[in-house]
């Protein structure tokens, strides 16, 4: 289906443009059935009014998203859940109290008001209150829940700046609210509260341990390898740039990783390939054709800069992008979940 090209307006606070004005204009656009990209603390979202079927369908089309992959519904505050929930399940209030606004998405039973397109026909709906000032002002002004996947073309790296959104969707959406780079840089944790055991469907900004500490019960982690994926989103290729990504899973010491990287880079270049490296700045001088630093290589720095780095290296005319992995604990588990999905090859 064709999507008409037109100008995308960019609204950035400052220079005499108050947050309130931006929120009002974005709210008007979304209530008029337009698509609005907005910053959150995790990644930029591409929003449509949950109660507007036409807008939701347009959202799937513009993103190129498979229609069996449901959307996260964004609300201004916990009370907004009443508009989409059929009932409030156990642990919901405790978790909302502790983690909202913030990078935790809760899957709960949904009511009949929510369009089937939003939930891909599932009896559940995913909700979250984002922590970004601009997102909350916009959602408050809109007064309707806003369905929003990450504001990128399906399958590619998520957007963490307004420039990323424009690179992917410029000319195809009405409006982008520019809030600068996202603070966390990796998507929310998705937690299913409709099962007997609360289950993490996607690791993210909130660690499993912190959820367990809050509700005092064991939390399960759904395996991405399950034959029938628990979260429809788990079965698609995700987060990948066009250039093949090679992920190096850590095993021994830092010195071991350094040697393995050196060897991979040397072998690639000997084979006539142009090799890029995305990693801690201590790896800057290993002889790659292009390098993008991830600070000192902590999970927080990986999360914040990883998608930007994948996008930057993807425009550098490389034949592969090598990424040293992290131990899969805490935020590192979320980082590795994304890198594994982005990777064309995983080296152990």
By CB under 6 A, name the binding residues for ligand TXA: 40, 42-43, 45, 69-72, 103, 105, 107, 119, 122, 124-126, 128, 130, 148-150, 187-188, 190, 201-202, 231-233
Using CA atoms, how far apart are residues 264 and 273, in angstroms rounded to an integer?
Answer: 11
> Residue 160's binding partner, choosing from ligand TXA, Mg ion, none, with beta-carbon cut-off 5 to 8 A by kind?
none
Judged by beta carbon, residue 105 or residue 265, the one nearer Mg ion is 105
Judged by beta carbon, residue 42 or residue 308, the one nearer ligand TXA is 42
> Residue 202's binding partner, choosing from ligand TXA, Mg ion, none, with beta-carbon cut-off 5 to 8 A by kind?
ligand TXA
Q: Which of 165, 155, 108 is nearest to 341 (CA)?
A: 155
Residue 58, H or E segment: helix 53-63
Name the residue whose CB lies closest to ligand TXA. 233
Judged by beta carbon, residue 45 or residue 279, the one nearer ligand TXA is 45
Residue 207, H or E segment: none
Residue 185 · residue 160 · CB < 8 Å: yes
Smallest gap, in angstroms, from Cβ of residue 2 to ligand TXA?
A: 23
Tokens 């069996």 correspond to what residue? 68
Judged by beta carbon, residue 69 or residue 199, the one nearer Mg ion is 69
Using CA atoms, how far apart are residues 263 and 268, in angstroms rounded to an integer?
Answer: 9
> Residue 241's binding partner, choosing from Mg ion, ligand TXA, none, with beta-carbon cut-off 5 to 8 A by kind?
none
Scored b (16 or more CB within 10 A) or e, 283-313 reads beebebbbbbbbeebebbbbbbbbbbbbbbb
Judged by beta carbon, residue 13 or residue 203, the one nearer ligand TXA is 203
Smallest gap, in angstroms, from Cβ of residue 43 to ligand TXA?
A: 5
């Amino acid at each position: 289906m064709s999507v008409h090209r037109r100008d995308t307006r960019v609204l950035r606070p400052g220079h005499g443009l108050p947050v309130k004005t931006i929120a009002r204009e974005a709210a008007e656009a979304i209530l008029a059935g337009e698509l609005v990209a907005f910053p959150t603390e995790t990644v930029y979202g591409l929003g449509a009014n949950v109660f507007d079927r036409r807008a939701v369908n347009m959202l799937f089309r513009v993103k190129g998203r498979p229609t069996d992959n449901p959307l996260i519904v964004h609300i201004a505050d916990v009370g907004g859940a009443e508009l989409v929930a059929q009932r409030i399940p156990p642990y919901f209030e405790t978790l909302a109290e502790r983690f909202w606004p913030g990078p935790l998405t809760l899957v709960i039973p949904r009511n009949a008001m929510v369009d089937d397109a939003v939930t891909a026909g599932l009896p559940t709906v995913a909700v979250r209150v984002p922590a970004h000032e601009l997102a909350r002002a916009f959602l408050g002004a809109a007064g309707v829940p806003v369905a929003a996947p990450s504001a990128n073309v399906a399958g590619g790296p998520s957007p963490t700046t307004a420039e990323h959104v424009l690179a992917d969707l410029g000319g195809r959406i009405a409006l982008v609210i520019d809030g600068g780079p996202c603070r966390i840089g990796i998507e929310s944790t998705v937690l299913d509260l409709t099962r007997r055991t609360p289950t993490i469907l996607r690791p993210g900004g909130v660690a499993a341990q912190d959820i367990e500490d809050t509700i005092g019960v064991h939390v399960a982690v759904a395996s991405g390898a399950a034959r029938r994926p628990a979260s429809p989103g788990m079965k698609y290729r995700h987060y990948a740039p066009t250039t093949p990504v090679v992920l190096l899973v850590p095993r021994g010491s830092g010195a071991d990783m350094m040697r393995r990287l050196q060897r991979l880079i040397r072998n690639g270049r000997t084979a006539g390939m142009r090799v890029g490296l995305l990693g801690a700045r201590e790896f800057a001088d290993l002889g790659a054709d292009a390098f993008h630093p991830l600070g000192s290589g902590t999970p927080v720095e990986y999360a914040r800069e990883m998608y930007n780095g994948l996008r930057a290296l993807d425009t550098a005319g490389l034949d592969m992008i090598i990424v040293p992995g992290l131990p899969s604990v805490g935020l590192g588990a979320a980082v590795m979940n994304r890198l594994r999905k982005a990777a064309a090859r995983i080296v152990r």
